[in-house]
Amino acid sequence: MTAITDMSVYNVSYYCNECGGWHATATRVQFANSELDGQSIVVAYLGRDLPSSIKVIQEPDKLHCPSINRPTSQPDPNKIFLILAT
């Protein structure tokens, strides 16, 4: 038996209000739980404070839409998701 002590790394992605697509951010977060793939940050951080690295995503113009090449933001935590990094 191998002890499961490794942390799972997730890429933070968001639904883009500008183009209606999904984009990855440069932000990565770690959880002991590997079952949060595809979950929103609302689920992942239920009852906890969001880390500052995710809070910044919700601030105006901190994101960049590659499809229309314009700054954007995603203030809605229900539209920010965790994707398990491989």
CB-side neighbour CA atoms (13 Å) of 6? 5
Is residue 71 a contact point for Zn ion (CB under 5 A)?
no
Length of the chain: 86
Is residue 32 classed as helix, strand or coil in its secondary structure?
coil
Is the CB of 16 or the CB of 82 nearer to Zn ion?
A: 16
Map the footprint of Zn ion across residues 18-47, applying CB under 5 A: 18-19, 21
Contact window for Zn ion (CB under 5 A) among 5-13, 17-25, 32-40, 45-53: 17-25
45: three-class secondary structure by DSSP? coil
Binding region for Zn ion (CB under 5 A): 16, 18-19, 21, 65, 67
